[in-house]
Amino acid sequence: MLKKPDPMVVATKLLARKKFKDTGKQFNMIAASWIQFMIHDWIDHMEETQQIELVAPKQVANQCPLKSFKFYKTKEVPTGFWEIKSGTLNIRTPWCAIYGSNEKRLHKVRTFNDGKLRISEDGLLLLDQDGTAVSGDVRNSWAGVSIMQALFIKEHNAVCDTLKREYRNLGDEELYRHARLVTSAVIAKVHTIDWTVELLKTDTLLAGMRANWYGLLGKSFKDKFGHVGGAILGGVVGLKKPENHGVPYSLTEEFVSVYRMHSLLPDHLQLRDISAAPGSHKSPPSAEKIPLPSLIGRVGEKTSSGIGFIKLMVSMGHQASGALEPWNYPMWLRDLVAQDVEGMDRPDHVDLAALEVYRDRERNVARYNEFRRGLLMIPISKWEDLTDDQEVIEALQEVYGDEVEELDLLVGLMAEKKITGFAISETAFIIFLVMATRRLESDRFFTSNFNEETYTKKGFEWVKTTESLKDVLDRHYPEMTAKWMNSASAFSVWDSPPPSPNLIPLLFRVPK
């Protein structure tokens, strides 16, 4: 079952990019980088030392950049539960993307002075002697993720300054710990009420995600009276105690699978000339194009230093990300130098598209139809139930015949007809919704300890008054956002118009 149909065939016939498709104005390269920044905060599977090899079958070999490739098997461990007997291990710890998942890395990123983290004078990440970035997580990273990390290191350091001014008796360790709490809460909040809302641009979702954080009673009520009522009225954040639903906290394999979004990545980063005057809707003129592979890892850090933080951010803000559709998986990821946990290049190149198909199967993630049944969604009985695109239907037929039960999850998620306003499939959305809520409600720092005593009065105020990535950018780069950002959200393409005001209160709007 692991090789049926062959992952290299699936990757070649249904995933590999033919012509780049973008998301229009909805989602930009900052949004694509943000979600990778989050993945680097949440998950990375532990591997075995034993390698596996995939070989391209004859029928597709001449279309595969790699005729064969080797990678490490996912490590399987006994869970100790009676129902699900084995599972996998996560080598990342929660809220680690700028702090690191172990003591060694944490030591590397801290200054041990006033609670602060290390950052370069030019606002980018510092580089080690070997050229790797000094940051919480550097594996399989690129300039987009590095500038997110650099921005939130600045945020952390700014929280330290504020807390030090307010509470003179706090030492390095206390300042560091409180600033880490505040910064992590800001990251979680941006993800919940800003990024997710832009990905699924509908009023219903906006209302739903804001209700997760603020409850149906809304922000003004919560700011004034604190958390009142249960999760529905007052929101998940600030609940009196964490809720684990009787299962120890974990991220599910399904959660990992729906975030397989490598098609968000384009082939080039279109740099902008920020020395020119802004054009219409604050758009900067185009300058040179940089191939994405030259922005990865150590080479990427070097390229970024030559470009600079503001030019990188403005360029990413003005460029649309790739669409999550069939035939939009970057070809350059089909011949990729993968890295180890220290960010060092591995000798074996991988075909990431084929590897992802294999990984879901290896980790026992259900195929598309079974996955939907598990979510109480209607399965498909023919390809026409999945998509109206005749060309895609023909390709599905060629790879899977009439065996709709064999459809791989990743292919199904890309091919599924999208709800208007959604950049992702409805199938993925259900997982998002369940897990986004779980991540908040099972964390004591968002429930029983979401208060002034734990965060400090100033720190708590910082979280309450930061609503979006734009707020964070405005705080550290006010001139950049004023000059180059026309959009309301930092995650939509920056020359798009802010939405026209809607006088109907959010909860009373009729879904389109």
What residues line the site for ligand HEM (CB under 6 A)?
A: 32, 35-36, 39, 43-45, 71, 140, 142, 256, 259-262, 264-265, 296, 336, 338, 352, 355, 359
Nearer to ligand HEM, 207 or 265 (CB): 265
User: What is the DSSP annotation of 294-350?
Assistant: GGBHHHHHHHHHHH-HHHHHHHHHTSBPBPSSTT-B-GGGGSEEEE-TTSPEEEEEE
Which C-beta is closer to ligand HEM: that of 151 or that of 160? Answer: 151
Is 262 one of the annotated binding-site residues? yes
Helix axes 297-307, 309-317, angle to 10 degrees: 100
User: Minimum CB separation from ligand HEM for residue 335, in Å?
Assistant: 12
C-beta closer to ligand HEM: residue 256 or 404:
256
Angstrom CA distances, 169 to 113, 155, 157, 463, 510, stand at 14, 21, 17, 22, 52
User: Which one of the listed residues 40, 156, 191, 318 is annotated catalytic?
Assistant: 40
Cα–Cα distance, 462 to 182 (Å, whole number): 7
SS3 273: coil
* Nearest approach, Cβ of residue 274 and ligand HEM (Å): 23
> Smallest Cα–Cα separation from 257: which of 164, 351, 172, 370?
370
Q: Give yes or no: 40 in active site.
A: yes
455: nearest Cα among 465, 469, 441, 468: 465
Q: How far is the CB of 138 from ligand HEM (least distance, A)?
A: 11
Q: In whole angstroms, what is the distance from residue 222 CA to residue 234 CA?
A: 7
Greatest CA span in the chain, whole angstroms?
70
Structure token digits, residue 220: 């003004």
Cβ(274)–Cβ(310) under 8 Å?
Answer: yes
Do the bridges between strand 268-272 and strand 68-74 make them parallel or antiparallel, or are there none, so unpaired?
unpaired
Shortest distance, CB of residue 142 to ligand HEM, whole angstroms?
4
**Is the N-terminal amide bond of 5 cis, ω within 30° of 0?**
yes
Q: Quote the radius of gyration of the chain (alpha carbons, Å).
A: 23
Please identify, using beta-carbon distances, which residue of 300 and 326 lies nearer to ligand HEM: 300
Smaller CB separation from ligand HEM, 140 or 315? 140
Closest contact distance (angstroms) between CB of 90 and ligand HEM is: 7
- Binding residues, by number, are 262
The residues assigned a catalytic role are 40
- Binding residues for heme b, by number, are 262
